[in-house]
C-alpha cells in the first residue's frame, strides 16, 4: 500500500472536481452518497481544490458540509487540497502573502471539520522563488494545520529543485492511456528517483476513456469544448484510440474505465516509475463502484497495451494556451 505523509492510501483515490466545478453542480445529498461509497471502497485519498467551483459552492464547502454530517469519516480521509492561485485570475501566486491567503481561506471554508493533509500549489509561480512558497506552507505545517507539501503540474527540473528545499510528499500529474507524456519526459523518472508517489489526475481522459463519449456533445463539462484535443477537427481521430481501449477491455471482462484506471496502477511496475494513485472522479454511486474495481493487468497485457498506444498519436494539446502546464 502506498504511504503519503505517513498515511496509508488505498490503491485508487477520488477526485472531487466534477462534483462542484461544472455548470450544474451535483446536489450535496447526491454528492454525499458518492463520497461515502468512495470511502467504503477504499478510495480514501480525496483530491480537492480551493478553486473547484465558486466561493459559495466549491470542493471545500462541500467537504465542510460532508464532514459536518459524517464527522466520523474525517480521520479516514487523506485530504489533498490545491490552492496557491489568485482566485480572480486563476494565475499562480506563490508569494508568501498569496500562500497565506489561500491556506487561510481553505481552513476557513473547512471550519475545522477536517485537517488539510497535503497542500499543493496548483501551478508553480515562475516569478517567485520556491523557497518563499514552501516557507509559507511550512508555517502551517509547524502549526499542525497542514500535513505536508505536494507539487502539481510540474516539469522535471522543478521536482529536482523542490526536493532540495523541502520534503515533497506527492506530485499530482496528468496520466492516462490518452496522456502518457510524463512517462517519457523525465517527470515520472524524477519522482521515482526520490520515491515520490504520483497522484494521477484525469486517468479517464476527461471521460473519453469510459467509452461513453462519442461526440463533443457528449462531453460532461462544456469547458472541455475549448480544449484542443476535443475540437471537431480532431475528435474523430482521437476517438480511434478509445475504440481500441474498448476492445482491450472486452478481452479482460472489464469496462473501458476500469481498464484505463488500472493501467495507471500497473504501469508503476515499470522501471523508472514510482507508485501511482489514480484519482478518477465520479458523481454517482454506480460510477464510484465501477471506478473502484481492481483489475489485474499482467506484464504481457501491459506490453500489448503499449504496442496499441504506439500506433496512435493523440491530436491536440492537453490544455488551451491560456492554461499553464509543465510548470
The residues carrying an active-site annotation are 52
Q: DSSP character for 255?
A: -
Q: Look up residue 240 and give its three cell numbers.
A: 480511434
321 phi, psi to nearest 5 deg? -60, -25
Residue 327 burial (CB < 10 Å; 0-12/13-18/19+)? middle
Give me the phi and psi of 281, to 5 degrees please.
-95, 155
Nearest to 194 by CA among 219, 171, 226, 217: 171
* HEC per residue, 197-213: CEEEECCCCCCHHHCCC
> Are the beta carbons of 57 and 23 closer than 8 angstroms?
no
Of 179, 207, 110, 199, nearest to 319 by C-alpha is 179
DSSP 153: S
Instruction: Give the angle 64-67-73 at the CA atoms, nearest 5°.
Output: 145
Is 51:85 a contact under the CB 8 Å cutoff? yes
Task: Provide DSSP, 7-71.
Answer: EEE-SS-EE-HHHHSSSSPPPHHHHHHHHHHHHHTT--EEEEETTSS-TTSSHHHHHHHHHHH-G
Amino acid at each position: 500500500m502506498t504511504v503519503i505523509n505517513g498515511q496509508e492510501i488505498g490503491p485508487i483515490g477520488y477526485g472531487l472536481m466534477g462534483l462542484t466545478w461544472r455548470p450544474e453542480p451535483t446536489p450535496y445529498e447526491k454528492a454525499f452518497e458518492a463520497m461515502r461509497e468512495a470511502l467504503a471502497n477504499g478510495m480514501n485519498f480525496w483530491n480537492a481544490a480551493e478553486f473547484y467551483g465558486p466561493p459559495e459552492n466549491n470542493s471545500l464547502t462541500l467537504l465542510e458540509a460532508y464532514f459536518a454530517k459524517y464527522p466520523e469519516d474525517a480521520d479516514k480521509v487523506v485530504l489533498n487540497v490545491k490552492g496557491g492561485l489568485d482566485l480572480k485570475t486563476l494565475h499562480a501566486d506563490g508569494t508568501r502573502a498569496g500562500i497565506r491567503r489561500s491556506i487561510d481561506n481553505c481552513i476557513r471554508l473547512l471550519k475545522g471539520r477536517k485537517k488539510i493533509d497535503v497542500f499543493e500549489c496548483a501551478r508553480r509561480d515562475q516569478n517567485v522563488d520556491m523557497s518563499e512558497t514552501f516557507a509559507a506552507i511550512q508555517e502551517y505545517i509547524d502549526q499542525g494545520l497542514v500535513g505536508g507539501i505536494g507539487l502539481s503540474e510540474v516539469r522535471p527540473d522543478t521536482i529536482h529543485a523542490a526536493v532540495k528545499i523541502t520534503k515533497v510528499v506527492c506530485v499530482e500529474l496528468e496520466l492516462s492511456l490518452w496522456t502518457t507524456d510524463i512517462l517519457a519526459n523525465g517527470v515520472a523518472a524524477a519522482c521515482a528517483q526520490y520515491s515520490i508517489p504520483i497522484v494521477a489526475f484525469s486517468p479517464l481522459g476527461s471521460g473519453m476513456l469510459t467509452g461513453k463519449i462519442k461526440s463533443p456533445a457528449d462531453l460532461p463539462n462544456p469547458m472541455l469544448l475549448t480544449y484542443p484535443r476535443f475540437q471537431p477537427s480532431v475528435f474523430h481521430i482521437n476517438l480511434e484510440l478509445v475504440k481500441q481501449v474498448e476492445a482491450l477491455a472486452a478481452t479482460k471482462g472489464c469496462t473501458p474505465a476500469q481498464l484505463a484506471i488500472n493501467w495507471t496502477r500497473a504501469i508503476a511496475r515499470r522501471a523508472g516509475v514510482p507508485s501511482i494513485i489514480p484519482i478518477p472522479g465520479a458523481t454517482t454511486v454506480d460510477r464510484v463502484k465501477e471506478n473502484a474495481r481492481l483489475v489485474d493487468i499482467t506484464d504481457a497485457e501491459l506490453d500489448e497495451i503499449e504496442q496499441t498506444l504506439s500506433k496512435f498519436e493523440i491530436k491536440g494539446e492537453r490544455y488551451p494556451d491560456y492554461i499553464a502546464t509543465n510548470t
